[in-house]
Structure 1
Amino acid sequence: MATEDESPSPSDITVILKEQTSACKAARDAIAAGGEVVLYDGQPPQWMVVGIAATRLKRSLKIGLTTLGLDETVEILRARHRDEQLRTGNIVAVDRSWFFTLYFDSTGTELLACSGLKNERPSQENGQELQL
């Protein structure tokens, strides 16, 4: 297992992806299938990470994208770890069908939450288009 001075390896991440959110099993499966894992060195403040996750949730709901555990992630990050800096990472499924975001404590040793976003075209029900 990684220490505070090193980033967790993909196998470490598989072990710590327990049941923090409903996206954890799918993220573990993506790693097992050979998905790419990237951990970032930066430590943005909790309020910034929560804001990004909340905006992603709101936008995903508005345009009809499929998410896993994103609502749970927003609640976990809002309720805990205030005034802390967090670390993040990503898992991209081999077939690029899913993109997962990992949220760690500032040391990178405790996984707080995991969310998934399906790589799909937004629904056209409301005439909304994805703007990048």
Structure 2
Amino acid sequence: MLEKLLAGDDEASMAALAALRSGATYGVWDTTHPAERHAGVFARRLRRMRLRGVEPLGLERMVQLLREHGRPVRGGLIDSADQKWTFLVFLTEDGSALVACAGVQRWVEPSQA
């Protein structure tokens, strides 16, 4: 079901879809919250990430789409099989459509030889 919803044309959705098809794990929460609350939280996180030189995939667009949506959303996470990426997804309140998606590259400690 989530694969169908990620059939968008933006880079973050396409990367999240590729991760799902490559064995990513995911979960979508049962609860909903106001989209504006999420937009505010992730706008602050985006500013902090940029101060550290990190540019998350599609996070600025996600904040904009959440603000425009203006209704409650259901959130979820997709963790890539290689544990290098986490994708944030926000669905409509009933879970029938994708509102926004963004990806954050995770820091993975190099293995020691």
The TM-score bracket by the shorter chain reads: 0.7 to 0.9
Residue 70 of structure 1 contacts residue 115 of structure 1 at CA under 8 Å; is this kept in 2? yes
The match for 2:105 is 118
Query: Whose strand fraction is larger, Structure 1's or Structure 2's?
Result: 2
TM-score by length of 1: 0.76
Q: How many angstroms apart in 1 are the aligned matches of 2:21 and 2:12?
A: 14
Unaligned segments of structure 1, at least 5 residues: 1-11, 122-132
Cα 1:115–1:67 shift into 2, 3 Å: same
Q: 2:90 aligns with which of 103, 106, 109?
A: 103
Letter in 1 for 2:40: G
Equivalent in the alignment of 1:48: 37
Q: Which has the higher helix share?
A: 2
Shift of 1:16: 1.4
- RMSD (CA atoms): 1.5
| Correspondences of 1:8-87 after superposition (within 5 Å) | 12-19=1-8, 21-78=10-67, 80-82=68-70, 84-87=71-74
- Percent identity over the alignment? 30
Moved more, 33-42 or 59-68: 59-68
Counterpart amino acid of 2:104?
L
Structure of greater Rg: 1
Structure 1 residue 20: Cα displacement: 5.7
